[in-house]
């Protein structure tokens, strides 16, 4: 999809978050994992939120998790969402621990449930930016 046709807001990518976005472009979910205490975290940060170590590795995760919470928007706050109202925004807790804000696809808003098992899908928003979304998976 060409960038000119993507009407929704796009992320501001920094040098700190670039490896996350590079992973998504490769269709991999990669987050920082502390080399000292093995904590995995999101959003990207220059040090481990648990032990404060600056030694970490960008690691590929399973892309699986569960819905922790969600809301359904009945109003479009950005023009790009006008054709999708009502749409959901969900917090997914990954099997590895961190939580991501995302959209759920492949499920009716009325069928979303807390604890619903989900897996990552990749939406290529532009040639440079791929977004992480989640769909239901069998329990």
pLDDT in tens, 23-65: 999 999 999 999 999 999 999 999 999 999 999 999 999 999 9
Dig out the tokens for 1 from the structure: 């999809």
Whole-angstrom distance, CA of residue 136 vs CA of residue 26: 22
The boundaries of every CATH 2.40.50 domain in the chain are 62-139
- More confident call, 102 vs 4: 102
Are residues 87 and 75 in contact, defined by beta-carbon separation less than 8 angstroms? no
How many other CB atoms are there within 10 angstroms of residue 1's CB atom?
Answer: 10
* Residue 3 in this model has a pLDDT that exceeds 70: no
Task: Retrieve residue 44's tokens.
Answer: 């990207």
- 4 pLDDT tier (thresholds 50, 70, 90): low
Q: Report, at the CATH architecture level, how domain 62-139 is classified.
A: Beta Barrel (2.40)
Largest CA distance in the chain: 46
Higher pLDDT among residues 6 and 29, named by residue: 29
pLDDT of 1 above 70: no
Tens-place pLDDT, residues 108-138: 999 999 999 999 999 999 999 999 999 999 8
Note whether 86 and 67 are within 8 A (CB): no
């Amino acid at each position: 999809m060409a960038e000119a046709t993507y009407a929704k807001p796009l992320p501001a990518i920094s040098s700190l978050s670039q490896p996350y976005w590079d992973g998504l472009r490769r269709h991999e979910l990669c987050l920082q994992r502390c080399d000292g205490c093995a904590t995995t975290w999101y959003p990207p940060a220059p040090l481990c939120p648990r032990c404060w170590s600056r030694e970490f590795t960008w690691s590929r995760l399973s892309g699986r998790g569960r819905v922790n919470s969600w809301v359904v928007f009945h109003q479009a706050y950005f023009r790009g969402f006008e054709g999708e109202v009502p749409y959901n925004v969900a917090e997914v807790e990954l099997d590895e621990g961190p939580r991501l804000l995302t959209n759920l696809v492949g499920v009716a808003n009325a069928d979303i449930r807390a604890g619903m098992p989900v897996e990552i899908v990749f939406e290529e928003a532009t040639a440079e930016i791929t977004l992480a979304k989640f769909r239901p998976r069998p329990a």
